[in-house]
A = this chain, B = another copy of it.
Amino acid sequence: MKTEFEFLAKLKNQYNLTKIGDDCAVLPKNSKTDTVITTDLLVEDIDFRLSWTKPEFLGHKSLAVSLSDIAAMGAKPVWSMLSIGVPPKIWKTDFVEKFYEGYMRLAKKSDVELVGGDVSKTPDKVVVDSIVAGEVKKGKAILRSGAKVGDLIYVTGFLGGASLGLELLENGKNFQNSKYKNLLLRQLSPDPQTEIGQILGSKNLATSMIDLSDGISSDLKHICSASRVGAKIFTKNLPVEPEIFNFESKLRDKISYTLDGGEDFELLFTVAPKKNFQLQKALKNHHFSQLGVITSNREIIELITASETSVLPSKGFQHFE
């Protein structure tokens, strides 16, 4: 079966859709500024389960996933739209009010104005489409395609938490009485890296960037593919979510959470070595890790452990495969 990536690549080629293929589309606004814009569809029982989450969390997450795409362009979020479809049994409750509470709280914090949207009935599932636009200096949006051989590869924050959080929910853990609330929140109510995205964009520090929605093994591949380069990453440098260690004995390999786990919504970016000092200074109040280096080994990601070097297969999330 065609994957969604294959389908989109074919569509892009067939209709010459040159603006498709990054975290956001980049559109000219005026002589000084470009607009970047993204849309994310979230579907009940595919992207979330109502029994696992709270409407406030879902409202927050709906905005957060799109803010993360804006951050990945190095842009400042400005305005948003939201389409929501709900079945009558949900409409009758206070679900939509609580949903917008969570959405608007994050919108206010992120200085984003909700300017439009649509409300519709559905037969039985909740569906949300989130649209966010941001602004960036003309020509300065950080694309996936700018990584150069020798660039250093960085990632913000800690990885694998959202994926482990999902596994806990799948195994019946409940948010209300869980002692792992932080892990569950990584999955249910992720924080977009809006501030770091803007620092990297405004100071022109990154040569390429993507947000980690599908997992490093997929998302670094997207950078390599768009930039026509390869990458080498060191497992010892992977910033494993500290709480994962509490579960170590019961888990599949913790490294697989960090490499293939989706929805961490951290930023993965590359930096020219000559800007490394400037980067360290600019992000001195944030947690970030150097994973490795960009190579000329086109579209090959080498994974280097203490004992061996192997080629990393893409195991990140795909809807259709």
Please report A residues at the B interface, Cβ cutoff 8 Å.
Answer: 1-2, 4, 7-8, 11, 15, 17, 19-20, 24-25, 27, 29-31, 37-47, 79, 81, 83-85, 88, 91-92, 96, 100, 104, 113-123, 125, 127, 129, 131, 319-320
Closest-CB distance, A54 to chain B (whole angstroms) = 19
- A37-B119 in contact (CB<8A): no
Given A91-B320, A129-B39, A131-B131, the answer on whether A19 and B113 have CB atoms closer than 8 Å is yes
Given A30-B29, A88-B320, A123-B43, the answer on whether A116 and B81 have CB atoms closer than 8 Å is no
In-complex Cβ contact of A43 among B113, B117, B127, B320 (8 A): B127
| C-alpha spacing A31/B91, complex, angstroms | 42
Given A41-B120, A120-B43, A122-B46, the answer on whether A17 and B129 have CB atoms closer than 8 Å is no
Q: Can you report 11 residue pairs joining A to B where beta carbons are below 8 Å apart?
A: A7-B96, A7-B119, A15-B100, A15-B114, A20-B117, A39-B81, A41-B84, A43-B122, A44-B123, A46-B123, A91-B320
Who on chain B is nearest to A91 by CB?
B320
| C-alpha spacing A175/B218, complex, angstroms | 44
Contacts A43-B121, A43-B127, A46-B121 aside, 12 further interface pairs with beta carbons under 8 A come to A7-B96, A17-B115, A20-B114, A20-B115, A20-B117, A29-B29, A39-B116, A39-B118, A43-B122, A47-B120, A119-B319, A122-B125
- A131-B25 in contact (CB<8A): no
| C-alpha spacing A1/B89, complex, angstroms | 11
Closest-CB distance, A36 to chain B (whole angstroms) = 10
- A39-B123 in contact (CB<8A): no
Who on chain B is nearest to A319 by CB?
B121
What chain B residues lie within 8 Å of A83 (beta carbons)? Answer: 39-41, 129
